[in-house]
Homo-oligomer: A and B are copies of this chain.
Amino acid sequence: MSVSPADPRVGVWLIGARGSVATTVITGCAAVTAGLHAPTGMITETDLFADCGLPALPSLVFGGHDTVDCPLPKRAEALVAGGVLPHGLPSAVAAELAAADREIRPGGPTPGDTHDPAELVDAFAADIRDFVRRYGLSRAVVVNVASTEPALADPAFTGKAVVETARGAAASVGAAHGGAVSVGAAHGEAAFVGAAHGEAALPPSSLYAAAALRAGCPYVNFTPSTGLHHPALTSLAESSGLPYAGRDGKTGQTLLRSVLGPMFAERALAVRAWSGTNLLGGGDGAALADPAAAAAKNAGKERVLADTLGAAPEGETHIDDVPALGDWKTAWDHIAFDGFLGTRMILQTTWQGCDSALAAPLVLDLARLTARAHEAGLTGPLSDLGFYFKDPVGEGPSALGDQYAALAAFAARLRELSGEGL
């Protein structure tokens, strides 16, 4: 795997760039590029995406924002100790880790920060543009892999409702607070409607999302945080002419549910109760122990059941913070269903996965796919990427098999575009 000097380079700007997922993304991209590991878990390296014109792995350049300052090489060693990265790998890719580390800028807002949101968006966008300029990148994509933030209090602002109501809401929010703030114009055509003084203030994830748009970059939200799903950003997103994708990467329990739910539906079996418990440590365990943060994640988990089964079954889904598990998570599902003549049967599943190792190849996929989509002139919500998400943007199927078919069609479209000389 090589990249010729003439190949255009593509930036991957990670929000939460010093976290476990980002560190695994950067380490893993270098490891696969160097031929040290197979690209296990990357769909973009399978035949499905042959000749689709995706940027080559060696052409990716990493940078990002974070509010902590632990150096990437040290973070990578911690992941070795936690069993996430193989022993010896951080030193084998030390140069790449150091290079990325130099491109990580302070995030925000931090406690005591006196900047108003518009200033933060300005600063973040400037960081990204500077990164693109200095490396002479053909483009950069922004991917949110930061810890989950608490959900917005107003249920009207969560889930798909946001997309549907955002247009009107944005106007009224702006109106209500009299706080319209122009954050300038990405590509010169969009105006940012802020809400700096009210309770609907933009959460940090939305500030970064706004910065991405302002810097002219495609945006991917790999977390359940708000990001672009905020009424104040809707019109900006629509008018930006940029492609975007999200939300909340599907890496474990929901991945399973997206194949098991359809199985029950296709077999006409009556699922009566679907209960689940997730145990996870790491930063995400602590973040999601906050019921407000868990709410957004669970909404996505339960949506796939309602969508694939036709109705939401009984049962709850718990997320427990278990620090002793580190980066590992365990998801137990218990499904009570009725068969012929009402006979009760049970399926249980236990998924023991490493969150960062599950997420990282998908993040690399998404960075490549959205960069290519941008290059190809695609805009707006990339609903064909629902395969990757718990709560996909746009309209699309919920069953994994159908999402895979949609992804294959997307690949075919890219391939066709590539054949046309792009």
Contacts and interface: CB of A to CB of B under 8 A. Distances in A.
Interface string A334-373: 1010111111011111111110011011000000000000
A31 B340 CA distance: 10
Contact of A325 (B325, B336, B340, B404): B336
Interface string A273-296: 101010100000000000000000
A255 interface: yes
B266 A404 contact: yes
A341 B24 CA distance: 9
Interface string A299-314: 0000000000000011
A279 B272 CA distance: 13
B347 A349 contact: yes
Contact of A320 (B84, B316, B343): B316
B324 A272 contact: yes
Contacts of A39: 268
B352 A346 contact: yes
Given A40-B270, A338-B40, A404-B266, A345 B324 contact: no
A357 B330 contact: no
B279 A267 contact: no
A117 interface: no
B345 A357 contact: yes
A277 to B, nearest CB: 4
A86 interface: yes
A81 interface: yes
A179 interface: no
Interface string A259-273: 110110011111011
A120 interface: no
Contacts of A89: 341
A196 interface: no
A123 interface: no
Contact of A273 (B38, B324, B336, B347): B324
Contacts of A279: 273, 275, 315, 334
B343 A357 contact: yes
Nearest to A358: B339
A305 B350 CA distance: 19
B84 A343 contact: yes
Interface in A361-404: 361, 387, 399-402, 404
A255 B46 CA distance: 26
Interface in A123-147: none
A14 to B, nearest CB: 16
Contacts of A45: 268
A392 to B, nearest CB: 16
A304 to B, nearest CB: 13
A81 B344 CA distance: 12
Given A341-B28, A354-B339, A275 B322 contact: yes
Contact of A40 (B80, B84, B340): B340
Nearest to A315: B322
21 contacts: A24-B341, A39-B268, A40-B269, A40-B342, A41-B340, A42-B340, A46-B268, A275-B320, A277-B277, A277-B332, A279-B315, A279-B334, A325-B336, A330-B346, A332-B334, A332-B348, A339-B358, A339-B361, A345-B353, A345-B357, A349-B350
Given A83-B343, A275-B279, 13 more contacts: A31-B341, A262-B401, A266-B400, A268-B361, A273-B325, A275-B320, A277-B332, A314-B322, A339-B354, A339-B357, A339-B361, A345-B354, A401-B401
8 A-B pairs closest in CB distance: A401-B401, A272-B324, A343-B357, A339-B357, A273-B324, A41-B340, A259-B259, A277-B277
